[in-house]
Structure 1
Amino acid sequence: MERLFLVLVLILGAVVGAPAAGAASTTTVVNSDASGAQVSRFDVDGNSLDAHDGSLIQVGDVFYLYGTSYACGYRYQQNGDFCGFKVYSSPDLAHWTDRGYITAPGSCQYCFRPHVVHNAATGKYVLWADGGGRYLVATSPTPTGLFTPAPTPALAVGGAVDESLFVDTDGTGYVVHNTTQVAAGLTADMVVERLTPDYLTTTGQYTRLGLGDVEAFAVFKRDGVYHALMSDPSCAYCSGATGEMTATSMLGPWSGSWYDPNGVHQSGRAEPRWRARIVNADNCGGQPLASLPIVAADGSTAYYFVSDRWNGRAPNESLANLFIGPMSFDADGTLRDIQCVNSFPLSLPGPAGSYRSSPDLDQRSGFDGFRHYCDIAGNVARQQGFTPSRTGTLSSASVTAFQSGSPNAPLTLEVVDGATGNTLSHRDFPVGAVPWAPTALAARPGVAVVAGHPYLLRLRSATTTGCYGWEYNDGNPYPSGVESYSTDNSGSFTAEPVRDLKFSTDVGATSVFAPDGVPAGFAKCADESGRCAFTGTRTVAYGAGTSYRFRTAADGIDCGIVAFGGDPLVGTLKACYTAPVGGPAGYALCADENGTCKVDAPAVVAYGAVGAFAYRMAGKGDTACTNAAFGGDPVHGVAKGCYAATVGGPPGATACAAENGTCAPGSARTVVYGARGAFVSRWVTGPVACTSAAFGADPIPGVVKGCYPV
């Protein structure tokens, strides 16, 4: 089945993209293009980083980025649903792997700014976060969580909002926070409080710096001097100046403040106040997130400034970015003004990372140099041309997209023949299936494509509110196609010759298809928030409608967003479904693992178990039922088998025509053509000939085929 094949693709993709162990290396960290325009950051799967207002730490050769997720539509001061705290890991600050949630979505109504440090004495990672009128504290034995809540900490100074954690070289921990308990006319001062040895609360020892309007703190220590960076003034999602104070003890005295009689509050009113020394005018587009000392392979330490680059103070900050840049110092240790560099080389303690590629990858526009824009709605459509390098079945077509402003209609992704203009494939993504953060939305078209022939990936929507956005690169990263747009509801398109959308396509040799939704043969095992219980290893689907996430798990799995790494359909009650122990629906066992599968006619053979399979076309005769014959192990540690597709159409489908007949499905829909597990598909809006010519290929020569609406 197509959806089961996806599980295999993801498994193999993880192997392809994993960095090999090796010596130290150098990479380039990019913040902006040559013009100074910000470029998007993506994880190794091509989805934008969805972790904001958080923290960044180094553990050995690995960096961990923590932050608030906004992809489900979480909005500041609008009582939005909390999307959870997430964590990403990277060997090089350029290639990030999504490690999932450290705090579950929905577990808080007003939570921001997760800061994590490691407590060497207890061996635990400790999280502090703004919980809306209080601080949340939690612990985990690993940097990737989940984090278990601890009691609410006691503070010596109340009125706290933003916070940051710092661990000194002797292991002493501190929480740095602001306080709104200030004199009339001021906004917030900075406070440093010493933590108890377990970092779970404070000791009562503290110092105040006497500043007037600061937040978003980051502290580092260099040559015995503590440097505290902060945003001045305080304001949600603004780009205030970077202030700096220094001390030789975390509990002070701190120096560097100056009185500004002309100080201005973020609202525009006068706010004369004490301020920190300014080392950057706008935090490189946001507010401090971290000050990161990086230890290179030679033992030397360099210091880097990290800031959130906010998205115009939007209530939802899914489109916010990061800035990472080196800090430099005078001979006496004074921090120089922070430069907002477009890019810089970074010496790493270990090997650099890489992006993942699926085994059937054929075309893509890459990961670097992209920006975003939102205008797909009503009469406005966008499309990207591509040219396959090989003939086969288009098993996946992905375009990176997002929603903004609450659309009220699905986003449609179509595959169009570039020569004839005919629509070959049509997939509607419900509003809840399109995150607010740019995400690689993948359709499984199953259409036949020909090497060297032009095709288009078209995005459109009938929404009358909000819009759907897209990622683009104006540096012509994909010379074999071009982006174009329509303002007349796809009636005509205007090409933008050097612009490409962020996309990828896979072309496979075996035509395996399943309708969107729960694969045939899967059985419901739990409602959302329940426990999907089973013994052994099984593949589990989590979702609703046509939107699902899949996991291969052992001895049960929680049926929820955290266990599956995301919400496949926001705002809809979901459920979990387990794969059958044996083969896919519509397939019959033909051999146990390491045996020989004998088929009396050409057929697709599935190799695997418990919902995870590799597929190949087998001719009449013998096929070895081994990992080697199928290109790898689809599910490790489980006894597998080979299963041959039976005669007829996909499970549950009813034939509309025999081969060489005419299929009239009665409404616009997808029709598949083939037999014995091998099918190609086509989007039809009227009667269609049930022939290889009409569907662009013969999916299984020498076998009588049929047509089936799905």
Structure 2
Amino acid sequence: MTSVFGMRTIPRPVALLTVLALIAALLAAVAPSSPARASVGTDLTNFGAGGEQVVRFDTDGNAVDAHDGAIQRFGDTYYLYGTSYDCGYQWNNNSTFCGFKVYSSPDLAHWTDRGHVVGARDCKYCFRPHAVYDRATRTYVLWVNDQEAADKFRVYTADRPTGPFTEQPVPDLPAGTSCTADLDVFTDDDGTGYLVCSNAGWHIAVIQLTRDYLRAAGPYEVTGVTRVEAPSIFKRHGTYYLTMSDPNCGYCTGTGTSYLTAKSPLGPWHGRDAWTIEDGALVARGGLYGLSQQGADWSDYTYSFDVAPQTTVGSTSAQAGFSVRMNRDDYGYLFLLTGSGTANGKLSVLRRAGATTASHVVPLDKPINAGEWHHVSVTAAGSTLTTSIDGVQVDSYTDATYAVGKVGVREWNGAALESAKFDNVRVISASGQNLLSDDFSGDLSRWLAPTPGVKISDSSCGGQPAQVATLRQRHGEPIFLYFSDLWNFHTNEARANFYWQPLSFGADGSIAPLTCANSHVRLDPGHPGKQRAIPGLDQGGGVTGFHLTCDIAGANQREQTFTAGRRGRLASLAVTTFKDGTEEGRVLRNPPTEPLRIELKDAASTTVYATTIPAGQIGWSARNVIVHPRIRVRRGDRYTVVLSSAAPQGCFGVAQNDQGLKFFTTISS
């Protein structure tokens, strides 16, 4: 690809922002009816004109490398904390932890790299840095998830939001919370702090912290949602909101976001009603698992019921799920009765342990139509599970993994929302004792019904939610800034971008669905930021509207043409580049080992400068690679930068927009 830049350097957004800020100040000064307020308008650009993700660059022109973290406002400055991936960390594949970084910004648009708050070290599962300020001790407290720590979390303190941070004793969390993974830290109006975290059963726990925010104070609440993670709490108009990834899905390119509400951080938390009783039958609409109140010690029994699968949202199929010997969501035996109405149905039998560990499919000899009732029974006797449909045995399965457990119902809670009707439920022991009987003529007191959140997005705009940041302003209510990581489901997650959007609310306090577009915020107070000045800058493509492409290897190369704007010595040439490997499943293999060649040619295609950059000196995140040709140039001379590599594996990548590569040149006299 060849792109041409003329003598004019593309104007930077900061100039426009500065003009707008001056105009706003003048208008405020001549309006006697309203007080003057310092404010800054900031465009949050998530996607380009073609819908492609765009890269956020720091004030030095490097890609912002702080993921799965949080944004906080301390004083009049905004801070972004996140996990760095520039050194090549691969989820589940290595222990190359790149450290936690922090960036600062006056306007949410111009971010300055402030370095590491926790340095790189050997750690296979270190994620989710979240910082809060303790006004009593004037201390900044940083919580992170580290699954190799005694309690799965570590806590650090510092006198400044940028550190240096010092590790404190490992926090002692209540055993009943079972917290192991994603987290958020929330401070209430009265200064009380809370840790919110996802636990081993993929529920969400909220734990009150001690006054110094360093450990658990004792009280906690475990919410009723299941198969969720990435929690975040904020408060608005006396109501607490808990947002989460729904369902849980590490590094997914589009898992949903939902929320619960409560009048206290310790609950009870409420979402939507997944289970309702209608016309004397249970109607289950998503929510995943609902289990019987009793039955933790039930061993041999027959679970029978009438069921009518309903059409799955966005599909022509219908599916009903039910389970036996299950005491913990998704740990036990799950059965899925599925049909499309155009062919014979099927029964899927799965042994679950948070994921399918064994399964088989039983073809049925008749269709399973949406809305059509069937009588189903599952008999658990020793290690044998026998299933019958409409009085005919269709399967016998032997497995000794789970010997006891409750019965339940399971309907998927994703964008393809499943639903089914159930009636006349009975559980009879092997000796003939009636353990459970429910015709749903009353209430749901015999069941632990699921409490799914209220969905505001089925895809989190192409990623997974990280946080809703409460950014307090001097005038008016805070900005509640939604933040999701736009993972690309490629093991090099250093390439991931961000989606940021201020939340909107209905008159009833409900959160409006995400728009998955670009947005605008007005910060009060605030002042415009700017890119760091480049001494001697001659040509460059700015930092706006760039996306990443990786294809420089072997016969493939990239070119960028420019024209010198003045006479002098070409002191430096910078190109924003990165490296990547070959994806094999979820393992990244064979990154380039050969160097990246940077060549400069004149208008006659004669090479006037060339150098190579070792692959080990190029990061996995897009960063400026700067070389120093020091050749004499004249105003109007035309040159071409050529990027190439003899690498037989992997690739080197570049940042580009519709005008060319991201680069700059400087000229000295």
Q: Do the structures match in fold with TM over 0.5?
A: yes
Partner of 1:172: 192
Matches for 1:546-565 after TM superposition, within 5 Å: none
- Select the residue among 140, 143, 150 that pairs with 2:158: 140
SS in 1 for 2:542: coil
1:114 and 2:117 aligned: no
Partner of 1:471: 655
Partner of 1:295: 472
1:429 and 2:619 aligned: no
Partner of 1:532: none
Partner of 2:68: 53
SS in 1 for 2:616: helix
CA distance in 2: counterparts of 1:120 and 1:393, whole angstroms: 53
Partner of 2:572: 396
CA distance in 2: counterparts of 1:341 and 1:30, whole angstroms: 8
CA distance in 2: counterparts of 1:96 and 1:362, whole angstroms: 23
- Select the residue among 252, 259, 280 that pairs with 2:457: 280
1:210 and 2:394 aligned: no
CA distance in 1: counterparts of 2:502 and 2:517, whole angstroms: 8
Alpha-carbon spacing, 1:348–1:267, altered in 2? closer, same or farther (3 Å): farther
Aligned-residue offset at 1:332: 2.1
Partner of 2:294: none
Q: Check whether the contact 2:204–2:228 (CA below 8 A) recurs between aligned residues.
A: yes
- Select the residue among 596, 603, 606 that pairs with 1:411: 596
1:246 and 2:275 aligned: no
Partner of 1:449: 633
- Residue identity matched to 2:618: V
Per-residue Cα deviation, 1:554-592 (whole angstroms, up to 9, x for no partner): xxxxxxxxxxxxxxxxxxxxxxxxxxxxxxxxxxxxxxx
Runs (5+) with no aligned partner, structure 1: 1-15, 183-187, 477-499, 510-710
Per-residue Cα deviation, 1:451-502 (whole angstroms, up to 9, x for no partner): 111101111001111000001111x3xxxxxxxxxxxxxxxxxxxxxxx000
Q: Check whether the contact 1:26–1:348 (CA below 8 A) recurs between aligned residues.
A: no
Q: Check whether the contact 2:84–2:99 (CA below 8 A) recurs between aligned residues.
A: yes
CA distance in 2: counterparts of 1:471 and 1:339, whole angstroms: 26
Q: Check whether the contact 2:233–2:243 (CA below 8 A) recurs between aligned residues.
A: yes
Q: Check whether the contact 2:595–2:612 (CA below 8 A) recurs between aligned residues.
A: yes
CA distance in 1: counterparts of 2:110 and 2:77, whole angstroms: 11
Matches for 1:300-311 after TM superposition, within 5 Å: 300-311=477-488
SS in 2 for 1:469: strand
Matches for 1:498-513 after TM superposition, within 5 Å: 500-509=660-669
TM-score when scaled to structure 1?
0.62
SS in 1 for 2:97: coil
Matches for 1:43-442 after TM superposition, within 5 Å: 43-106=58-121, 108-133=123-148, 134-156=152-174, 157-180=177-200, 182=201, 188-238=202-252, 239-259=254-274, 262=286, 274-312=451-489, 314-405=490-581, 406-417=591-602, 419-442=603-626
Per-residue Cα deviation, 1:364-408 (whole angstroms, up to 9, x for no partner): 011101111100000100010000110111000001000001111
Alpha-carbon spacing, 1:433–1:41, altered in 2? closer, same or farther (3 Å): same
Alpha-carbon spacing, 1:432–1:307, altered in 2? closer, same or farther (3 Å): same
Aligned-residue offset at 1:35: 2.5
SS in 2 for 1:318: helix
Q: Check whether the contact 1:211–1:257 (CA below 8 A) recurs between aligned residues.
A: no
Aligned-residue offset at 1:267: 6.5
Partner of 2:9: none
Q: Check whether the contact 1:32–1:343 (CA below 8 A) recurs between aligned residues.
A: no
Runs (5+) with no aligned partner, structure 2: 1-14, 26-37, 275-283, 289-329, 331-353, 360-409, 413-449, 582-590
- Residue identity matched to 2:594: A
CA distance in 2: counterparts of 1:204 and 1:279, whole angstroms: 32
Aligned-residue offset at 1:293: 2.6
Q: Relative contact order (alpha carbons < 8 A, sep ≥ 6): 1 or 2 greater?
A: 2
CA distance in 2: counterparts of 1:44 and 1:141, whole angstroms: 24
Q: Check whether the contact 1:36–1:342 (CA below 8 A) recurs between aligned residues.
A: no
Instruction: Give % identity.
Output: 43
CA distance in 2: counterparts of 1:459 and 1:150, whole angstroms: 47
SS in 2 for 1:146: coil
- Residue identity matched to 1:426: A
Q: Check whether the contact 2:463–2:485 (CA below 8 A) recurs between aligned residues.
A: yes
SS in 2 for 1:432: helix
Partner of 1:39: 54
CA distance in 2: counterparts of 1:263 and 1:246, whole angstroms: 16
CA distance in 1: counterparts of 2:217 and 2:596, whole angstroms: 53
Aligned-residue offset at 1:428: 1.1
Alpha-carbon spacing, 1:412–1:80, altered in 2? closer, same or farther (3 Å): farther
Per-residue Cα deviation, 1:55-112 (whole angstroms, up to 9, x for no partner): 1101121110001100011111112311110000011111000000000111534311
CA distance in 2: counterparts of 1:28 and 1:105, whole angstroms: 33
Partner of 1:606: none
Aligned-residue offset at 1:27: 2.2
Q: Check whether the contact 1:382–1:459 (CA below 8 A) recurs between aligned residues.
A: yes
Per-residue Cα deviation, 1:345-378 (whole angstroms, up to 9, x for no partner): 4334121101112120000011101111100000
- Residue identity matched to 1:440: N
Aligned-residue offset at 1:162: 1.1
Q: Check whether the contact 2:541–2:662 (CA below 8 A) recurs between aligned residues.
A: yes
Aligned length: 461
1:460 and 2:475 aligned: no
TM-score when scaled to structure 2?
0.66
CA distance in 2: counterparts of 1:178 and 1:96, whole angstroms: 30
CA distance in 2: counterparts of 1:205 and 1:58, whole angstroms: 28
CA distance in 2: counterparts of 1:258 and 1:155, whole angstroms: 31
CA distance in 1: counterparts of 2:187 and 2:620, whole angstroms: 34
CA distance in 1: counterparts of 2:510 and 2:286, whole angstroms: 26
Q: Check whether the contact 1:29–1:346 (CA below 8 A) recurs between aligned residues.
A: no
Aligned-residue offset at 1:432: 1.2
Q: Check whether the contact 2:95–2:123 (CA below 8 A) recurs between aligned residues.
A: no
CA distance in 1: counterparts of 2:521 and 2:468, whole angstroms: 17
CA distance in 2: counterparts of 1:507 and 1:100, whole angstroms: 29
CA distance in 2: counterparts of 1:299 and 1:236, whole angstroms: 36
Aligned-residue offset at 1:263: 6.0
- Residue identity matched to 1:199: Y
Alpha-carbon spacing, 1:261–1:84, altered in 2? closer, same or farther (3 Å): same
**Which structure has the highest strand share of the two?**
2
Deviates more, 1:334-343 or 1:146-155: 334-343
CA distance in 1: counterparts of 2:605 and 2:218, whole angstroms: 71
Q: Check whether the contact 1:297–1:350 (CA below 8 A) recurs between aligned residues.
A: no
Alpha-carbon spacing, 1:118–1:335, altered in 2? closer, same or farther (3 Å): same
- Residue identity matched to 1:341: A
